[in-house]
């Protein structure tokens, strides 16, 4: 083989190896990527049942119902639309009606969001960046509601921006 042909073969082999590695990484990540959606986005878009995503908004006042077996039902709203949520387990201590919440789970065929993770905001001025960005996009953001993604000390409390997919293992 000539020097030029050897170099061309080496470049093709390296390109094939890189393409295979990229394919494996993307396949592995496909099951760990979770997108954030607001209740208005869930109501407006036809989200396929069984789709895993994060749902964020405010816990609607008067919607919290606790059952003896540990099941909890509540509604998440962004003042435009409301999604019913069912959760089984212990809720965070700061979870209450009228507070910001981010839940992770799947949308069932009956339109109820079955959450397996519930995250509550940690103080009065904190709002998850995803929730704040969704409210801004809908024109429902109130400027006095605090800085999105920051706690009262001004430190950044959010690991991701809202436009990017969120890994299940990234933010807890």
CATH number, domain with residue 110:
2.40.50.140
d(CA 82, CA 72): 16
Same domain, 44 and 95: yes
Is 172 among the domain residues?
Answer: no
Contact 76, 53 (CB under 8 A): no
d(CA 134, CA 79): 11
Number of domains the chain contains: 2
Structure tokens at 169: 């293992």
- pLDDT of res. 22: 93
β 52-59/33-37 pair status: parallel
- pLDDT of res. 13: 95
Same domain, 92 and 44: yes
Instruction: Give the model confidence (pLDDT) of 49-100 as tens digits.
Output: 888 899 999 999 999 999 888 899 999 998 888 999 999 988 888 888 888 8
Is 87 assigned a ligand-binding role in the annotation?
no
Confidence of residue 164 (pLDDT cuts 50, 70, 90): very low
Give yes or no for residue 46 having a pLDDT over 70: yes
Is 122 assigned a ligand-binding role in the annotation?
yes
- Alpha carbon separation from 171 to 60, 71, 102, 128, 130 (Å, rounded): 24, 24, 11, 11, 12
Range of the structural domain that residue 73 is part of: 33-167
Share of the chain above pLDDT 90, in %: 32
Same domain, 39 and 84: yes
- pLDDT of res. 75: 94
| Dihedrals phi, psi of 73, to nearest 5 degrees | -125, 135
């Amino acid at each position: 083989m000539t020097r030029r042909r050897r170099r061309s073969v080496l470049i093709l082999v390296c390109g094939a190896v890189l393409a295979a590695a990229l394919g494996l990484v993307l396949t592995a990540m496909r099951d760990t990527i979770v997108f954030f959606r607001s209740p208005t986005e869930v109501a407006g878009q036809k989200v396929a049942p069984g789709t895993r995503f994060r749902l964020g908004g405010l816990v609607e006042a008067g919607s919290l119902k606790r059952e003896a077996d540990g099941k909890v039902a509540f509604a998440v709203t962004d003042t435009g639309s409301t999604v019913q949520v069912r959760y089984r387990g212990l809720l965070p201590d700061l979870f209450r009606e009228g507070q910001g919440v981010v839940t992770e789970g799947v949308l069932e065929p009956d339109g109820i969001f079955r959450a397996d993770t519930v995250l509550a905001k940690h103080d009065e001025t904190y709002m998850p960046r995803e929730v704040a960005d969704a409210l801004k996009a809908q024109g429902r953001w109130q400027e006095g509601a605090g800085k999105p993604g920051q706690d009262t000390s001004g430190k950044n409390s959010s690991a991701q921006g809202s436009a990017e997919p969120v890994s299940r293992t990234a933010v807890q």
